[in-house]
Amino acid sequence: MSKVVVNNLKYRYPLTENLAINGLTFEIEQGELIGIIGRNGAGKSTLCAALTGLVPHFFKGAYGGSVHIDGINVKESKLSYISREVGIVFQNPFTQMTGAKETVKEELAFGLENLGVPKLEMLRRIEDALNLLEIDHLRDKNPLELSGGQMQRVAIASILVMHPGLLVLDEPTSQLDPQGTAEVFRAIKKLSNQGMTIIMVEHKIEEIAEYADRVMFLDNGKIVAFDTPTNVFSMNHLEEHGLRPPVFTRVCKGLGIRDLSGLYPVTLSEAVNEVQKFNESD
């Protein structure tokens, strides 16, 4: 069975007229890293909220279709129960800190205290998360006094300790500087390599091309394409849906560098190889 099964999902926020999500059907397998892209208002964040149960439990409104995570129907389950299966990390690292804990390790313990995890198990999970996200040296610091990149990694760690089977990240790097962004991407890559299923909304298209196994391209609450980065970014008319493909793809499109099935390079290393061949050919 697939990790995530979404069937004809529709949703409209209260007091609005248009569907934010309009008939999404897709499946995601265990261990995949999925990038969700599309212009503002396309439905990306709403989809994240629906995968984590914030829609329809936190945001009311009109809901149709279904979301199943590991066989659990999100609509039928309580938020506190879903939070064990699905973790979510938001844009703003600051508002994700509880604001009630004085050290990073206490911050990480918060979710575990709520779940009633025994003390020894708690310590073990906190140690693992501190190591995995390379924030061990911050354990006794006040979480609100960290840099953006550090704070965002604490936010991810505080979700990971709850051992979710699925991690949803809604623009986790949009408020970070280049170094903070690189730190967070490195952490995400590491988690993915360890087999975690990850769904990530991200505007940084070159990074999506580099890291994602598959890309879901949304516009107007609908799926325009859901395929490998190569297949999605090689499509024509992306600009009509408000999307600029990675700069490497744009360069290769400009030079007419594509393979026999009409696909373009999407990452730096692919582009380097292909442009080199192009320069040497005649």
Partner 1 sequence: MNLIDVQNLHFSYPEGIELLKGIDLAFDHRSTAIIGQNGAGKTTFVKLLKGLLKPVSGDILINGVNTKEISVAKLAAHIGLVFQNPGDQIFKSSVYDEVIFGPHNIGIPEDEADESTKKALIEVGLENKVNDNPYDLSFSERKLISIASILAMNTQIVLLDEPTIAQDDYGKQLIQGLVRKLEGEGRLVISILHDMDFVAETFTRTLVFQNGKVTMDNDTKSVFSQTEAVRRAYLEPPHVTQLGNRLGYTETYLTAEQFVKDSLRKREEFKQ
Partner 2 sequence: MQNISLYVNKKSFVHDVDFLTKLIYIFVFIAIPIISGSVIIGLLAILISLILHTCAGVLKKLIPIVALSLFVLLSVIIVQAAFIPGYHIVFFSLGPVHFYQEGLIHASLIIVRFLDILLVSSLTVLTTRPSDIVETLQRKGLSHRMGYVINSIFQIIPQMVSSMKTISDAQRSRGMETEGNLFVRVKAFLPLIGPVVISSLVGTRERAMALEARAFSADAKRTYFHEEMKYRYKTPVRIILLLLLVVSIIWRVL
Q: Which of 68, 105, 153, 214 binds partner 2 (CB under 8 A)?
A: 105
The residue with tokens 């009311």 is 60
Binding mask 159-198 for partner 1 (x = CB under 8 A): ------------x--xxxxxxxxx----------------
The residue with tokens 């936190």 is 58
Q: Checking phi first, is residue 191 left (phi over 0); if not, alpha (psi -120 to 50) or beta?
A: alpha
User: Which long-range contacts (C-beta less than 8 Å, at least 24 apart) are formed by 220-223?
Assistant: 220/22, 220/42, 220/43, 221/18, 221/19, 221/20, 221/21, 221/22, 221/23, 221/24, 221/42, 221/43, 221/46, 222/22, 222/23, 222/24, 222/43, 223/24, 223/25, 223/26
Task: At 263, list the tokens.
Answer: 């696909």
> Count of CB atoms within 10 A of residue 5's CB?
17
**C-alpha–C-alpha distance, residues 259 and 32, integer Å:** 26
Is 124 a binder of partner 2 (CB under 8 A)?
no
Q: How far is the CB of 160 from partner 1 (least distance, A)?
A: 24
Q: How far is the CB of 279 from partner 1 (least distance, A)?
A: 7
Is 79 a binder of partner 2 (CB under 8 A)?
yes
The type of residue at 54 is L
Q: How far is the CB of 70 from partner 2 (least distance, A)?
A: 17
CB closer to partner 1, 37 vs 117? 37
Q: Checking phi first, is residue 116 left (phi over 0); if not, alpha (psi -120 to 50) or beta?
A: left
Is 235 a binder of partner 1 (CB under 8 A)?
no
Q: Are 23 and 7 in contact (CB under 8 A)?
A: no
Is 112 a binder of partner 2 (CB under 8 A)?
yes
The one of partner 2, partner 1, none whose footprint includes residue 99, by CB under 5 to 8 A per kind, is partner 2
Is 95 a binder of partner 2 (CB under 8 A)?
yes
Q: Which of 61, 250, 258, 263 binds partner 1 (CB under 8 A)?
A: 250
Q: How far is the CB of 19 from partner 2 (least distance, A)?
A: 21
CB closer to partner 1, 201 vs 223? 201
Q: Which of 87, 180, 221, 229 binds partner 2 (CB under 8 A)?
A: 87
**Could you give the 3-state DSSP secondary structure of residue 255?**
helix
Q: How far is the CB of 101 from partner 2 (least distance, A)?
A: 8
Q: Is the dihedral of CA 114, 154, 217, 19 positive or negative?
A: positive
Task: Using CB under 8 A, list all residues that contact partner 2.
Answer: 52, 54, 58, 78-81, 83-84, 87-88, 90, 92, 94-96, 98-102, 105-106, 109-119, 122, 142, 144-145, 155, 158-159, 162
